[in-house]
C-alpha cells in the first residue's frame, strides 16, 4: 500500500468552508510544527556537553544484603504497615519514638527493622 505525501501548501489549501469547518481549518494551519531533533554535533555545540553516565560506587556483599533485608520505607508505606495515619507516623518520628532518617530533600525514611520493633512495642502495650 502506497502512502501519498502532499507538500505543505497542498495539505492546508484554502477552500470555501462554512462555520465550524472554517475554524477547524484555521486552527490546523496555525498549529506550531515540531522542530526536528538534532544531535550536539549538528548544532555546533561541543561534544562534551552531552550527558555522561555516572558510575556508582560498588557495594560489598554485606552492604547489599543489609539494604535488601532492611529497606528504607517512605512515610506512606510506614503508615500502611503500622495501620495508622501519616500524621500519626509524623508525630511518632518527631517525638523520637520511631527513628527515621531525612533525605537531602527533607523527607523521612524509616527502616523496616525499626518499624517491626516499634510495631511489636505498640502491640504489647495494648
Q: Is residue 105 part of a domain?
A: yes
Does residue 95 sit within a domain?
A: yes
Range of the structural domain that residue 65 is part of: 61-125
Q: What is the CATH number of the domain that holds 89?
A: 1.10.1660.10
Q: How far is CA 75 from the centre of its chain?
A: 17
User: What are 88-103's pLDDT values in tens digits?
Assistant: 999 999 999 999 999 9
pLDDT tens track for 52-73: 888 778 889 999 999 999 999 9
Q: Per the structure, how many domains does the chain have?
A: 1
Does residue 103 sit within a domain?
yes
Encode burial over 34-63: b for 16+ CB neighbours within 10 A, e otherwise.
eeeeeeeeeeeeeeeeeeeeeeeeeeeeee
Residue 114 falls within a domain, yes or no? yes
Residue 101 resides in a domain: yes
pTM value > 0.85? no
Element (H, E) at 65: helix 61-69
Amino acid at each position: 500500500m502506497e502512502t501519498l505525501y502532499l507538500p505543505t501548501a497542498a495539505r492546508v489549501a484554502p477552500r470555501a468552508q462554512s462555520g465550524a469547518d472554517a475554524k477547524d481549518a484555521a486552527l490546523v494551519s496555525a498549529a506550531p510544527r515540531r522542530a526536528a531533533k538534532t544531535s550536539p554535533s549538528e548544532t555546533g555545540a561541543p561534544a562534551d556537553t552531552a550527558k555522561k553516565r555516572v558510575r556508582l560506587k560498588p557495594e560489598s556483599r554485606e552492604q547489599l544484603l543489609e539494604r535488601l533485608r532492611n529497606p528504607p520505607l517512605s512515610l506512606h508505606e510506614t503508615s500502611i504497615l503500622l495501620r495508622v495515619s501519616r500524621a500519626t507516623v509524623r508525630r511518632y518520628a518527631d517525638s523520637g519514638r520511631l527513628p527515621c532518617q531525612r533525605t537531602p530533600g527533607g523527607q523521612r525514611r524509616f527502616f523496616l527493622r525499626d518499624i517491626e520493633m516499634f510495631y511489636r512495642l505498640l502491640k504489647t502495650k495494648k
